[in-house]
Amino acid sequence: MSAPLASAKLLHKQLKEMQTDKDLASISAGLVNDNIYEWEVILMISDDCKFYGGGFFRARLVFPHTYPHDPPTMTFETPIWHPNIYPNGSVCISILHPPGEDQYGYESASERWLPVRTPESILISVISMLSSPNDESPANLEAAKQWRENPAEFQKRARKCVRDSLEG
């Protein structure tokens, strides 16, 4: 079985599992243009999340043909103000970084992409990241600075993202 065929088969299985798992009611996933390598996801954030609770955030997962050996990329399509999300929506989280040792020594190999990770585990990690940003390694420097220095203003801006997500 060729690599793209094997990865497509695995992704079909993982998508079906996510769509039928009642414990994942807060995550919706489907294909973009019937392409198994591109998923649209909607994260419905529970009210427990201090900053983004009640929001509906659309994002894309794009998987390489070398999946699960290499990580997908994740990009929010709904604008979101967060230290670990670049202004263009790209998510910066350790588990989506290429496998192996970090050339800068910041992350251990076990924190980075591992083939045992699944789309489900990625999305759960991203939801967790929304509540607990890593401001030591920010993708959005302004958001990280505001998170540290002016939490009230950060919360105000995050809540605006939630309101906007419900209108779009």
- Please check the confidence at residue 103 and state whether its pLDDT lies above 80: no
Percent of the chain clearing pLDDT 70 (strictly above): 95
Give the helix/strand (H/E) hosting 37. strand 35-44
Domain range holding 159? Answer: 3-167
Give pTM, 2 decimals: 0.91
- Please check the confidence at residue 137 and state whether its pLDDT lies above 90: no
* Nearest CA among 104, 94, 163 for reference residue 128: 94
If one counts the domains in the chain, the total is 1
Query: At residue 5, what is the residue type?
Result: L
pLDDT band at 133 (very low <50, low <70, confident <90, very high): very high
Query: 74-83, 86-95, 132-141, 158-167: lowest mean pLDDT where?
Result: 132-141
- Please check the confidence at residue 105 and state whether its pLDDT lies above 90: no
- Please check the confidence at residue 1 and state whether its pLDDT lies above 60: no
- Please check the confidence at residue 132 and state whether its pLDDT lies above 60: yes
Longest pairwise C-alpha distance within the chain: 54
Reduced to 3 states (helix: H, G, I; strand: E, B; else coil), residue 77 is coil
Structure tokens at 122: 């990625």
Instruction: Judge whether 161 counts as a catalytic residue.
Output: no
DSSP 82: -
Domain containing 77 — which CATH number? 3.10.110.10
Annotated catalytic residue within 92, 96, 129, 143: 92
Which whole number is the average pLDDT over 121-133? 94
Query: 18-32, 101-115, 127-141: lowest mean pLDDT where?
Result: 101-115
Which whole number is the average pLDDT over 72-81? 97
Which residues does residue 137 pair with via DSSP β-bridges, in sequence order?
none
Which whole number is the average pLDDT over 67-77? 97
pLDDT at 152: 96
pLDDT at 3: 58
pLDDT at 29: 96
Query: 7-11, 92-96, 101-105, 160-164: lowest mean pLDDT where?
Result: 101-105
